[in-house]
Structure 1
Amino acid sequence: QLVSRVKQSGFNLTPKKVFDAPVLSQLAAVLAQLQQLHAVQPTEQAFPLLPIQHHFLNQQHGNINHWNQHISVALKQPMEPAVLSAALSQLVHHHGALRLRFSQDPQGQWQQVYQKLGAETLLWQSQAADDTAYQALTLELQQSLDITHGRLLGAALVSMADGSQRLLMCIHHLAIDGVSWRILIDDLWRLYQQGIAGQAPQLAPTPVSYADASQQFSTWWLQHQIDQNFWQQQGQPQPLDPAFYRDRETLKVTLSAAQTQQLLRDTVPALSVEVDALLLCCLQQSVAPKQNLAVYLESHGRDEQVFYGLDLSRTLGWMTSLFPVTLAAESNPQTQLQQTQSLLQQAKLYSGLDYGGSQFRASAASAAMASVTFNYLGQYHDSDFSHWCEPIAGEGFDQADSNTMLTPLVVNAEVSSGQLQLHWEYASSHFSAEQVTAIAKRYITQLERWNGQTSRAHGQADKRVLQPLNDAVATRTPVFCIHPVTGRAQAYQALAQALGGKRQVIGLQSRSFIEAGWFDHSFDEMADCYLASIKQQQAKGPYTLVGWSLGGALCQELVARLEAVGDEVEFVALLDCYVPGFEVAEDQWQSSVAQDKLRQHLGILLPGTSEPQLNQCLSLLNQNPPAQWPEVFAQWLTELNLDPHTRASAQDIMLSWAVEQHYRQLCDGYQLPRTAVQYVSFWAGEPAGRAQAMQNKLSKINTLNLQLTIATDHLGIVRAPQVMSHLVSALS
């Protein structure tokens, strides 16, 4: 999403660049060098299929033209048919994958080529009396696609009897995947808005075409040495009768919100595995606990090692990678989990594309290599498009009844609305409803069992809270800087730059900004996690800590824990440290000043929002604790007509407010620990008198070896030149 937003602003960026340039100034320099994006000119020649396309076209499907993906949404505002039709045509013209035509050569080999946009109308204008009529129209549209004539997209604007409108759009899977849909819907809405405003259509350039990606894959695969021994051990031919979509049934089971959060926050980090490894382990234990289980896995396939140097962030097309793994039966669950984790690491080294290149290029149909398909889709948050539409549940008729399912059992897992949801699709010709229900129940039981074995415990490390702010210095231990009440560590950037080449500075940031829905229960919990995370980075003392504001109090919590186990603390600096009893009244949520400040922020970010709407927002926040603000605020935003980027920015602002006010609530009744170490302390001299009063109270609890009052305020002390000079001298 970061890459996409940057590109919408006219700059080029790749995920790798984000990780290579973690400091904002470095990232800005990269953007300055890569400002110009140029649209690629599509080739007029046939070009190779990607592995997933080969696999699909070599299956024995009853209706190869009817294997689609679709969206079906209720519109929150009416759409103009002529403008929408023009936007669809412009969309197809811009994204070449939507203009592909497929044919077979004299040897029966499939090939694809771009075709020019024809005069055929892409948009149907229809009416439907009820849901039954709408479903009939959906099936008709799905059946209208034809890959040999290049009709890969169809859309319908449907007027319902109640006066509402629905938009239906289906695209043949050969031209689309899950990643592509976000690009496509965002572009469609942009083109429609430009059309309504009478503006010329303009989209961000697409620097890499689907054909470019195909050619790059072919080059990579010919040059790459695959691990034949590894892949020969994965999967096994399945002596199964084909399963057809006409026999498909579905079952949905859900893990509770509390169990889901425990799974993601506690269990997975405690086990030091990826989420999909644990989910796969539970699948093995539920489906075939005493036998090896061959499973098909999917990945998005846009692997930077394979497509090195190509910017695929705006490339539409089916790039999914499909590959088998064999989960070995193992009586010890812990051993099985670690084996699964190791297996996935090797299988996903190139996102499974090395297997795809070697296996899916066979011209003849190959036997299925797995009996189950599993796909973990990750965490899904509120749609970026909810400002103009809402999804409609129901049968989409994406596949023809005569088409074959990849495997008789397919499991799709995702975290949506804070809950792990598992969608079990099965062929009734192979499984009974009772069998699948029993398997699904065993699966949930396995997850809950893992949660029970790794229930929340203090001292659980989370490496993600560690945020390096400059380069490591091999001969010196790091300086750990603890976040203030805002939860973010970027304020230590000035210190990191000043210590560049002398000491590495590692900020500790709140888990609330790295894991959706996370809010710490207490300062004790935070300190235990931070200490365990620091010890993963630096196993033994002496330790060096710096804390500004609330970070100063957390530093003292860390010192108390280090002293308790006999670890050496070399140096601790407190920058205008938080002292209980000296809270600034205007910063507390109960203050009208704080609420007016948020109102101003929202008014600037959401121009046109009425006073009653803002009042409603503040009323909702006042009725809920800060930990629930992001969810409450997201629901409030759905009532506004906002573009995706404005909506996302508003949610980011609200998360920051929620984290800060949550920490301020945790301060209620808090007492600092007593420690033996002597602290170096710097205090903001503004407002007058406050620094001396805070020093006096803190010195009654812990020893302040050096106390300096600086002519600045609380926000300025973390980058005040006098403070930087003292710290650089002490830490160098």
Structure 2
Amino acid sequence: HFCTSVQIYQATPLLELPQLRQQIERHIQTETELLVDPAFFVALKDKYPEITQVQMRLQRGSELNEMMKYRYSVLLHIEAPVPSEITPAVVNGTEMDVQAIAQYLQQHQPDAVCFSGLLNCRVASDVRCVERLASTEASLSVQQLQDMMSDVPAEAIDPEHLYQLSTELGYHLEACWCAESHNGHFDAVFVRPEIADGAIVLTPLTQQSVIGGNWHHYANNPLSSQVTNQVIQEVRADLEQRLPEYMVPSGWVVLPNLPLTPNGKVDRRALPAPDTDLLRTGEFVAPQTSTEETLAQIWQEVLGLQRVSIHDNFFRVGGDSIISIQIVSRAQQAGLQLTTQQLFEHQTIAKLAAVAGTTTTKTQHQQGLVTGEVLLTPIQHWFFEQNLAQAHHFNQSMVFSVSPHLQPELLKTAVGKILEHHDALRLRFHQHNNSWQQVNQGWANNNDDIPFQVVDLSNLSETEQAASLKQTATEQQASLNLSDGPLMRVVLFQLGGVSQSQLLIIIHHLAVDGVSWRILPNDLFSAYQQLERGEEIQLPPKTTAFQDWAVRLAEYGQSQQLQSELDYWLKQSGSTVASLPVDYPEGDNIVEHAVHISVSLSKAETTALLQEVPSAYNTQINDVLLTALVNTLAAWLDTSTVLITLEGHGRESLFEDVDLSRTVGWFTSMFPVHLQRVSEHPGEALKAIKEQLRDIPQRGIGYGILRYLSQDDQMGNQLAALPQPEVSFNYLGQFNSNPSQPFSGQSILKSAGPNQGLQGRRAHLLDINGLVIEDQLQIILIYNCHIHNHSNMVNLAEDYINNLKSIIAHCQSLDATDFTPSDFPIADLNQEELDALIAAIN
């Protein structure tokens, strides 16, 4: 019952019952704590005569948690004088509630009585779940099981209520597990205090005689997981010497024996599927070297894990391409030379530690003030191509809750240091003959030039504070200037008293992106803390300058390697694409009419998405999110092919001597992709989308370079003439608070005024953004209320999140493990050939 309770609490709602049963069985097998049946202590008394008496009591308390539900106290009397014993009369209490027990005691006023077989309300739901699991149809989910079991039977009793009753009626109470049942029942012995004093009250369980027999029936073996761990390590080590990395199994299950068919062959259908979370626990291998210790600490902090094994796969414990940049940045600050490409190729700490510091080239990047002309990058070309009426108002912003004791003068100095250190924040843009140029402005470290201000709202009411904050934020959002600056505003709102102040940071999108927001706040508050300690500000060394990156992209745009990708992008135009249905065809698609709809997964579902789902088909989070989106759009449009603009972080490893892990700027790659829905089966659909995404060359960065940076005008014109998507998708990564920082509750969702000018034209009819905030995935669908009906868009968002839940549930099922051709890159197989080969092996 205990293990069932834990697994039901941790399971995702859509998990089916056969998978839940397997998780419970594995949890029991890998449990590292000793779980003891109460009858063990009675059997111990019969085996060892020196134990004169055994007393057991249920744990007291009103909180419904593990301590209260399943733990109990045991007192063994060793060679103690035998005191007087109280053996009460026994009353069958299986149908009695607290009121019936009170009536019995008041009517009969016994000196001692035992009410046996009372249903313990603390564990009643768990008991019923166990019974249902043994008999319920397999199609039910955990959520349906919980709904069925939510009502506690009326006769169920909280032991604490009986303790209160005993005090009211002048009794001493002994509550102990029931001797006759293992289904969560207990016995309650009421004894007059004057009789109980100095005596031992015997409950039916402590009176019975139990023969020890097979002692392992009374408890689990916590050491068995150590044996399992050793076996797995030895087998893995042997296979790693014999097989390529991608062929070494990622999931392991140790069984006492293999299930057999009646013909004596291995029954493959009866083999249990690996459970990622439990196996990670069972296979934990601590860091062995200082490099492994450093990497493990970084992984734990960035991924939010309590511990990490050196054999855990980065993408199967919640990692993604954005987080990989953070890992590399932190590793370099710790003195380890790594690249994101190495992390993609060596996805465990053990393998990554072996190559740390082995890059063949170590380039010295510009550490001084970078100034002068900067070539436009592809995404910046795209921005100016939009010809927005309010180009100065196209921002990203964040609001942070900070200590009310933050010193404004120190924070202003820290902001100045950030502007000096991160060159992109000093960009300026000038239009000449219908073309735009950008330059990096210098920095005179003039206090008056620092775009920082303090707004004191302490004398206003909460309602007035909120209104004033929104008004000021709206004004600041529209105040940036592309040619004269600044491109950044920082405003500290002081709310007074003990209320946390609010720190608003606004930056024009031309100078910042999602990855940059992982760098800037940390640097800002690191600089502030150093000033607060009276130290000189020392920020980590700069990586490749945005100016240098722009030059390298322009050079790469003329290379034969890149031009060979052109055919891939042009061939996509052959697919027939359905236009999105619209409800109001005459609507104007401007920002003013944009509406946001947000749907989300639970924390448990998000954990499954990040840490369990990847192991089924060797996928990454974008594969799963896009499969759900393609399924949703294909059903809506009644088509098999959808055209979507995908956004990537754009910091691809194109050049060995370039490191962008700590460079601030707008690096986003944006490219159109046709995605086909080949099956309604969630597993087959996921495999197909995974392979289509793997076929995109260089994760799509080449499209923008070919279109905007190639000197061949015909090439750019061909790409510009391709059908343009009406839907965009962008996964922004994970945003979780760091309790070690002097700020909390960072949010890109708080009201900080409009990030874009209201008259700006939107590039797509639908924008879908995914992000994880405080361990919970949120999907934000942005549509135009003058083009689409609200209820239709709500239904579309709900369809999307439900499709995503279905994929998660499938990937947790028994049959959800398979390979795709990209898992074997040197084998040159298609899916049919690979399936046939695997079938032959099986």
Structure 2 length normalisation: TM-score? 0.51
Deviations 1:84-115 (A, max 9, x none): 11111111111110111111223x21111111
The question of 1:93 aligning with 2:420 is answered: yes
Q: Which residue of 1 aligns with 2:540?
A: 204
The question of 1:423 aligning with 2:777 is answered: no
Counterpart residue identity of residue 374, structure 2: F
> What secondary structure does 1:157 align onto?
strand
- C-alpha displacement of 1:267: 4.4
> What secondary structure does 1:407 align onto?
coil
Alignment of 1:61-100 (within 5 A): 61-100=388-427
Match of 1:147 among 456, 475, 482: 482
Distance 1:260 1:110, change over 3 A: same
Alignment of 1:146-545 (within 5 A): 146-162=481-497, 164=499, 165-223=501-559, 224-234=562-572, 243-289=589-635, 290-291=638-639, 292-304=641-653, 306-330=654-678, 332-333=680-681, 336-347=685-696, 349-361=697-709, 369-383=724-738, 386-391=741-746, 393-396=749-752, 397-457=754-814
Counterpart residue identity of residue 7, structure 1: Q
Contact persistence 1:233–1:326 (CA under 8 A):
no
The question of 1:125 aligning with 2:473 is answered: no
Contact persistence 1:269–1:461 (CA under 8 A):
no
Q: Which residue of 2 aligns with 1:469?
A: none
- Distance in 2 (alpha carbons) for counterparts of 1:162 and 1:404: 43
Distance 1:35 1:359, change over 3 A: closer
- Distance in 2 (alpha carbons) for counterparts of 1:449 and 1:198: 55
- Distance in 2 (alpha carbons) for counterparts of 1:449 and 1:268: 15
- Distance in 1 (alpha carbons) for counterparts of 2:744 and 2:815: 43
Contact persistence 1:42–1:211 (CA under 8 A):
no
- C-alpha displacement of 1:117: 2.3
- Distance in 2 (alpha carbons) for counterparts of 1:359 and 1:203: 37
Deviations 1:271-325 (A, max 9, x none): 4443322322222222232223211111110100x23320111111100101111
The question of 1:115 aligning with 2:445 is answered: no
Counterpart residue identity of residue 116, structure 1: G
> What secondary structure does 1:400 align onto?
coil
Distance 1:431 1:383, change over 3 A: farther
- C-alpha displacement of 1:394: 2.8
- Distance in 1 (alpha carbons) for counterparts of 2:453 and 2:808: 50
- Distance in 2 (alpha carbons) for counterparts of 1:458 and 1:293: 28
Deviations 1:201-254 (A, max 9, x none): 221221310001111111112112242232124477979875211011111112
Q: Which residue of 1 aligns with 2:315?
A: none
- Distance in 2 (alpha carbons) for counterparts of 1:238 and 1:24: 46
- C-alpha displacement of 1:262: 4.2
- C-alpha displacement of 1:360: 3.8
- C-alpha displacement of 1:26: 4.2
Distance 1:379 1:123, change over 3 A: closer
Q: Which residue of 2 aligns with 1:4?
A: 329
- Distance in 1 (alpha carbons) for counterparts of 2:578 and 2:377: 23
Moved more, 439-448 or 93-102: 439-448
- C-alpha displacement of 1:183: 1.4
Counterpart residue identity of residue 247, structure 1: H
Contact persistence 1:7–1:204 (CA under 8 A):
no
- C-alpha displacement of 1:182: 1.5
Distance 1:311 1:265, change over 3 A: closer
Deviations 1:416-470 (A, max 9, x none): 444332111111122111011111121223233334544433895899xxxxxxx
- Distance in 1 (alpha carbons) for counterparts of 2:531 and 2:810: 57
- Distance in 2 (alpha carbons) for counterparts of 1:260 and 1:11: 31
Distance 1:238 1:46, change over 3 A: farther
Distance 1:180 1:258, change over 3 A: closer
Moved more, 248-257 or 16-25: 16-25
Aligned sequence identity (%): 28
- Distance in 2 (alpha carbons) for counterparts of 1:25 and 1:391: 32
Q: How many residues align?
A: 465
> What secondary structure does 2:373 align onto?
coil
- C-alpha displacement of 1:155: 0.7
- Distance in 1 (alpha carbons) for counterparts of 2:805 and 2:389: 41
- C-alpha displacement of 1:25: 6.8
- C-alpha displacement of 1:163: 5.4
- C-alpha displacement of 1:12: 4.3
Q: Which residue of 2 aligns with 1:690?
A: none
Deviations 1:164-183 (A, max 9, x none): 42211101000001111121
- C-alpha displacement of 1:55: 0.4
Distance 1:117 1:340, change over 3 A: same
Distance 1:126 1:30, change over 3 A: same
- Distance in 1 (alpha carbons) for counterparts of 2:746 and 2:816: 42
Q: Which residue of 2 aligns with 1:594?
A: none
Contact persistence 1:12–1:36 (CA under 8 A):
no
The question of 1:14 aligning with 2:339 is answered: yes
- Distance in 2 (alpha carbons) for counterparts of 1:94 and 1:285: 45
Q: Which residue of 1 aligns with 2:115?
A: none
Q: Which residue of 2 aligns with 1:46?
A: 373
Contact persistence 1:146–1:152 (CA under 8 A):
yes
Counterpart residue identity of residue 409, structure 1: L
> What secondary structure does 1:411 align onto?
strand
Mark the structure with the bigger radius of gyration: 2
Contact persistence 2:618–2:819 (CA under 8 A):
no
- Distance in 1 (alpha carbons) for counterparts of 2:767 and 2:652: 24
> What secondary structure does 1:351 align onto?
helix
- C-alpha displacement of 1:136: 0.7
> What secondary structure does 2:769 align onto?
strand
- Distance in 2 (alpha carbons) for counterparts of 1:35 and 1:217: 20
Contact persistence 1:238–1:369 (CA under 8 A):
no
Q: Which residue of 2 aligns with 1:500?
A: none
Contact persistence 1:176–1:317 (CA under 8 A):
yes
Counterpart residue identity of residue 632, structure 2: S
- Distance in 2 (alpha carbons) for counterparts of 1:373 and 1:307: 28
Alignment of 1:544-559 (within 5 A): none
- Distance in 2 (alpha carbons) for counterparts of 1:287 and 1:29: 45
> What secondary structure does 1:317 align onto?
coil
- Distance in 2 (alpha carbons) for counterparts of 1:26 and 1:137: 52
Contact persistence 2:677–2:689 (CA under 8 A):
no
- Distance in 2 (alpha carbons) for counterparts of 1:207 and 1:274: 27
Counterpart residue identity of residue 390, structure 1: G
Structure 1 length normalisation: TM-score? 0.58
Q: Which residue of 2 aligns with 1:543?
A: none
Distance 1:194 1:102, change over 3 A: same
- Distance in 2 (alpha carbons) for counterparts of 1:39 and 1:144: 31
